[in-house]
């Protein structure tokens, strides 16, 4: 399988190159040259195939020989090391819980998959691989956990001092070994600027192989298709096809669902559920795309004003908004309604939503008001990560999952200012 740049000004590359580079040299996102298509019979049989086997079948054409088949199966098995249960909230609404991984967020799947692909590719690189990421909280934890103790790869994570939650900080700093957490005396934008400067620094890049683990990397994007195939497999109503509502920020997850649907996976309709950051709902309403400045909400992992993956979404539909609109709706749900419905759902059913899943839930519930069908919303994070917000709303304590009790209590991090030279000196240590 080859990948081309959506800006069309860079050469095509294979899966290995696309993963190592992250983004094409022209600044475009990589997109698969062709999309596999499966006949109806495949999906009938798929229900009987074990999860890891099915996921491996799906991802293999995208890897296209860049990793041998046996290794792909091992990577997929290590990626899907936690359950993704489909939990009914009512006759009509199911929660696809994607938060049972080590860092209690769905990003664990993409991060684990990518880290293991890089572990394979590291063998053919003559320099040390340094994965460099800036995080506002969630991504860093998933990357730290996914890459922990992977031989040949050093991970450097920049996070803004005092601006991540306690759980997030423990997830970033608890590992040590090949995970280097840098606590930057600044905000997230400072961290991002430092990382971008390092990627442009020729001297540094000659010493070590710098790569990013951000969500536009194909090795993080593509395995998110697993959620949709496994949801289909475990959907209890064989005669009907669900609507799927996806809490969306950078639109990587929902785009993976649309990709799976282009391969023939039966899904009735998609809802891209956004918080107050309504760039895409506005785009679909007006036909004009206007990037906005992100606003802060309680579902902060979705605070994105200019979602990168909208380019991939449009590419899937030949840039025809009308064809896209037949398959995807996008709505914006504000914090006020999100809070209200979190309390309502808890009082009615005892189910505890997190602020991100709640946006997906509300969008689905609203949709079902006028559509006689059933649906799934994705619960992308465990509510305990947002206990300060959720507990007062439900008037009750959230049970602590065992994985949190076993979080390492050690603290490995180094403080750093916002001056680039300081980061450069640190990174030179890997050259
Ligand atoms: C990243 C994230 C999202 C948004 O996913 P995208 O693929 O960026 O649209 C939703 N919920 C949680 C908890 C996240 O961490």
115 touches 146 (CB < 8 A): yes
33 touches 3 (CB < 8 A): yes
- Which atom of ligand 1 sits closest to the CA of residue 250? 8
Alpha helices by DSSP H, listed for 174-216, are: 188-199, 202-207
Residue among 110, 259, 272, 380 to mutate when testing ligand 1 (max atoms within 8 A of CB): 380
Tally of helices (H runs) and strands (E runs) in the chain: 20, 14
**pLDDT tens-digit map of 66-114:** 999 999 999 999 999 999 999 999 999 999 999 999 999 999 999 999 9
- 371-387: average pLDDT: 96
Q: From the CB of residue 397, how many other CB atoms can be counted at a distance below 10 Å? A: 10
248 CB within 6 A, ligand 1: yes
Question: In a 3-state reduction of DSSP, which class is residue 257?
Answer: helix
How many Cα atoms within 13 Å fall on the side-chain side of residue 90? 14
Distance 180 CA to ligand 1 centre (A): 24
Q: Is the pLDDT confidence value at 137 over 80?
A: no
Distance CA 69, CA 74 (A): 9
Least confident span in 37-51, 135-149, 274-288: 135-149
Q: What is the pLDDT of residue 405?
A: 83
Q: Which residues pair with 31 in a beta bridge?
A: 4
Distance CA 39, CA 2 (A): 23
Distance CA 263, CA 229 (A): 11
Q: Is the pLDDT confidence value at 356 over 80?
A: yes
Q: Which residue has the higher pLDDT, 317 or 214?
A: 317
Q: From the CB of residue 107, how many other CB atoms can be counted at a distance below 10 Å? A: 28
Residue bearing the CA closest to ligand 1, atom 8: 250
Closest listed residue to residue 51, CA positions, set 71, 78, 80, 29:
80
138 CB within 6 A, ligand 1: yes
- 44-62: average pLDDT: 97
- The DSSP output letter for 185 is S
Q: What is the pLDDT of residue 352?
A: 98
Residue among 135, 217, 250, 254 to mutate when testing ligand 1 (max atoms within 8 A of CB): 250
Q: What is the pLDDT of residue 30?
A: 97
Q: Which residue has the higher pLDDT, 162 or 7?
A: 7
Q: Is the pLDDT confidence value at 307 over 90?
A: yes
Residue bearing the CA closest to ligand 1, atom 1: 301
Distance CA 300, CA 304 (A): 9
Place of tokens 């600027």: 193
379 CB within 6 A, ligand 1: no
301 CB within 6 A, ligand 1: yes
Banded pLDDT at 239 (limits 50, 70, 90): confident
Q: What is the pLDDT of residue 408?
A: 72
Terminal-residue alpha carbon distance, the chain: 32
Distance CA 148, CA 103 (A): 12
Banded pLDDT at 428 (limits 50, 70, 90): very high
Q: What is the pLDDT of residue 252?
A: 96
The pair of three-digit structure tokens given for residue 128, joined into one six-digit string? 């040390």
251 CB within 6 A, ligand 1: yes
356 CB within 6 A, ligand 1: yes
pTM: 0.94
Distance 360 CA to ligand 1 centre (A): 11
């Amino acid at each position: 399988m080859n990948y081309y740049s959506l800006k069309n000004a860079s050469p095509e590359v294979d899966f290995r190159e696309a993963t190592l580079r992250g983004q094409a040299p022209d600044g475009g996102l990589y997109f698969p040259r062709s999309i596999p298509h499966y006949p109806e019979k495949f999906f009938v049989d798929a229900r009987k195939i074990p999860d890891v086997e099915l996921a491996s079948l799906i991802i293999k054409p995208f890897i296209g020989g860049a990793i041998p088949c046996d290794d792909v199966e091992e990577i997929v098995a290590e990626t899907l090391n936690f359950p993704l249960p489909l939990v009914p909230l009512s006759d009509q609404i199911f929660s696809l819980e994607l938060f049972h991984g080590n860092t209690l967020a769905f990003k664990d799947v993409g991060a684990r998959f990518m880290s293991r692909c890089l572990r394979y590719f590291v063998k053919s690189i003559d320099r040390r691989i340094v994965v460099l990421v800036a995080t506002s909280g969630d991504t860093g934890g998933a990357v730290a956990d996914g890459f922990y103790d992977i031989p040949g790869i050093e991970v450097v994570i920049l996070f803004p001092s005092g601006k991540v939650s306690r759980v997030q900080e423990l997830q970033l700093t608890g590992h040590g070994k090949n995970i280097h957490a840098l606590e930057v005396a600044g905000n997230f934008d400072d961290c991002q600027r430092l990382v971008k400067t390092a990627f442009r620094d020729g001297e540094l890049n000659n010493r070590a192989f710098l790569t990013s683990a951000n969500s536009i990397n194909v090795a993080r994007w593509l395995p998110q298709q697993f959620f949709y195939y496994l949801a289909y497999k475990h959907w209890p109503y064989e005669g009907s096809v669900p609507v799927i509502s996806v809490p969306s920020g950078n639109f990587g997850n929902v785009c993976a669902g649309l990709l799976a649907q282009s391969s023939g996976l039966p899904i009735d309709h998609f809802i891209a559920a956004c918080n107050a950051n309504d760039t895409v709902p506005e785009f679909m309403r007006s036909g004009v795309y206007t990037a906005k400045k992100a606003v802060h909400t309680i579902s902060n992992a979705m605070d994105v004003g200019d979602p990168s993956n909208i380019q991939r979404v449009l590419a899937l539909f030949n840039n025809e908004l009308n064809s896209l609109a037949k398959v995807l709706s996008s709505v914006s749900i504000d914090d006020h309604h999100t809070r209200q419905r979190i309390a309502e759902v808890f009082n009615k059913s005892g189910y505890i939503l997190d602020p991100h899943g709640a946006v997906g839930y509300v969008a689905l519930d609203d949709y079902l008001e006028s559509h006689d069908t059933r649906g799934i919303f994705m619960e992308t994070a465990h509510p305990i990560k947002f206990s300060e917000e959720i507990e007062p709303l439900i008037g009750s304590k959230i049970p602590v999952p065992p994985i949190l009790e076993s979080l390492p209590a050690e603290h490995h991090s180094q403080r750093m200012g916002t001056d680039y030279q300081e980061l450069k000196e640190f990174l030179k240590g890997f050259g």
